[in-house]
Amino acid sequence: MTARLVFFFFALFNAGIVASADELLMKNGSRLVGTLVSASQSDVVFDTPFAGKIKIKQANIERIVADQKVTLMMQDGRVYREKQLVSREGRLLVMGANQQPVVFDVADIKLVNPEPWRIGDGYKWYGQGNSAVLSERGNTDTDQLDVDFESIWRSVEDRYTVRAAWEVDATDGVENKNTARQRTKYDRFRVDDPDNYFGGQLSFEHDKFADLDLRTTVGPYLGRQFFETDLLTMHGELGLVFVEEDFDVAPDDDYWGSNWEVRLTSDVIPDAQLYVNADGIVNLDHIDRQLVNTTIGISLPVVYGLKAGAEVVYGYDGGAVDEVDKLDETYNIKFGYTW
């Protein structure tokens, strides 16, 4: 825990201060009155009567004084719910009705008022839907429609993920691209080591103009959640899959492969989110026939969950049939909604 967060918690639970509401004092001298919603090593979420919930960097905060009871999540996983804290001689006591006080150091605290799912209460549901529409008229008429969707249910023990994408392009009224992908995943986190997990996936892919009627992929994998914060979220996976490919013209094929996935998001740029998503399959029968999909983008919030952004998508199919390009490259300006 950083020295800043230690100082923050000492100020937060200073027993000599009594207030009728939570107070936040900024380093520039500003003072906010409201309710402390949550706190981590990087940010504080504070609910104010005039601006609603706002997120403030710890580096900009001088002191917070909490009047209400709080829920604490400790570094070792213990949880203290709705407790009043008392500071005595540089240590903190958790006080509960008809209970003996529990004494611990400030550095033992991981989160104040964590999200319910982090302490084992149900699931957090979050996701996004995006679309990109292009229509050009002139010497050549061009139309493009891209739609993608992601929905995630996350608990302490497991995670369900559903992703789907569809792209249709046409030139002068003649369709020249039609692709669709859908992937469903289940992850199970280890109780004794929650950063590591195992899971399974089932995915389907169609590409009309690459002669691919249906590619079905199924198999298990091992993963690691390297980071899961607002500043940086990242996980990586490696597994074994069975792939079955049905073509319209070319002979059908099936093979065993090794799959991998890396997904990274970061809020390092204020009011923006950077993301890199990459996944692939290595054909164990023909190493040169790799499948690789990479997306690099940035999204900016607009209002009420709406967002806008730009991204570049690379798709490589080393086993593409003759007369079909192995590399597909797409640039998108996207609009969407997050929840």
Q: How many angstroms separate the CA atoms of 217 and 181, rounded? A: 11
User: In sequence order, what are the beta bridge partners of 297?
Assistant: 275, 311
Strand 91-95 and strand 79-88: the pairing is: antiparallel
Length of the chain: 339
User: Mapping DSSP to helix (H, G, I), strand (E, B) and coil, where does residue 3 land?
Assistant: helix
Per-residue pLDDT reduced to its tens digit, 110-160? 777 888 998 889 999 999 999 988 888 888 888 999 999 999 999 999 999
Question: Across the 339 residues of the chain, what is the mean pLDDT of every consecutive 10-residue run?
Answer: 53 48 80 81 79 80 71 80 60 55 67 85 95 85 92 95 95 92 96 90 95 97 89 94 95 96 92 94 92 95 93 90 83 92
Q: In this predicted model, what pLDDT tens digit does every residue of 162-202 receive, in sequence order?
A: 999 999 999 998 999 999 999 999 999 987 888 999 999 99
> According to the model, what pLDDT value does residue 279 have?
96
d(CA 76, CA 82): 18
Contact call for residues 43 and 57 (beta carbons, < 8 A): yes
Whole-angstrom Cα distance, residue 110 to residue 39?
Answer: 9
- In angstroms, the CA 54 to CA 123 distance is 23
Closest CA to 279 of 326, 232, 233, 217: 217
| The predicted structure's pLDDT at residue 190 | 86
Nearest to 316 by CA among 300, 333, 328: 328
- 234-237 contacts at long range (C-beta below 8 A, 24 or more positions apart): 234/262, 234/263, 234/264, 234/265, 235/261, 235/262, 235/263, 236/260, 236/261, 236/262, 237/199, 237/261, 237/262
AA letter at 41: Q
**Domains in the chain, start-ordered, CATH in brackets?**
3-114 (no CATH), 124-338 (2.40.160.40)
